[in-house]
């Protein structure tokens, strides 16, 4: 009887082990079309339209314009929060941010630049 119980426990553990990677992927907050260590912006809401993919240099915080100087959705797959601006040179105050690992399916108003 102990052997059957041990086999049942091992089988359940194997099932959980194979299910864990899928669950971890499902829990990933960002859109899968944005690579790791990158920030992605789209010209349309819902991650549609032209996509811009930028892999920021660590420690660098330059002002980067979004596609067509406006973006309506975004994904941040970096370790840092990103500030969002309405003007293309980031000279105004930020109007929002995207946290590390976060996404925003609808930016209203559209964003012209970020850092």
Reply yes or no on whether the pLDDT at 7 is more than 80: no
**Overall pTM > 0.75:** no
Residue at 43 is within a domain: yes
Instruction: Count structural domains, the chain.
Output: 1
pLDDT tens for 56-80 read 876 667 899 998 889 999 999 999 9
Q: Give one DSSP letter per residue of 70-88, joined into a string.
A: -BSEEEE-SSS-EEEESST
Residue at 30 is within a domain: no
At residue 22, the pLDDT reads 31
Exposure string over 44-59, b if 16+ CB within 10 A, otherwise e:
ebebeeebbeeebeee
Structural domain for 50, as ranges: 39-114
Residue at 8 is within a domain: no
Residue at 44 is within a domain: yes
For residue 103, is the peptide bond before it cis, meaning its omega torsion is within 30 degrees of 0?
no
Q: Minimal CA–CA distance to 82: which of 69, 100, 66, 64?
A: 100
Q: What is the mean pLDDT of residues 30-34?
A: 66
Angle at 19 between CA 14 and CA 21, to 5 degrees: 115
Could you tell me the two tokens for 9? 């426990």
Residue at 70 is within a domain: yes
């Amino acid at each position: 009887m102990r052997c059957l119980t041990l086999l049942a426990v091992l089988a359940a553990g194997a099932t959980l082990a194979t299910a864990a990677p899928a669950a971890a992927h499902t829990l990933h907050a960002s859109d899968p079309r944005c690579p790791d260590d990158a920030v992605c912006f789209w010209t349309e809401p819902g991650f549609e339209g032209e996509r811009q993919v930028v892999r920021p240099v660590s420690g660098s915080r330059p002002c980067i314009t979004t596609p067509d100087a406006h973006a309506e959705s975004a994904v941040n797959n970096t370790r840092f929060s990103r500030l969002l601006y309405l003007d293309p040179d980031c000279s105004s105050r930020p109007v929002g941010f995207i946290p590390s690992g976060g996404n925003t399916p609808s930016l209203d108003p559209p964003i012209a630049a970020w850092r």
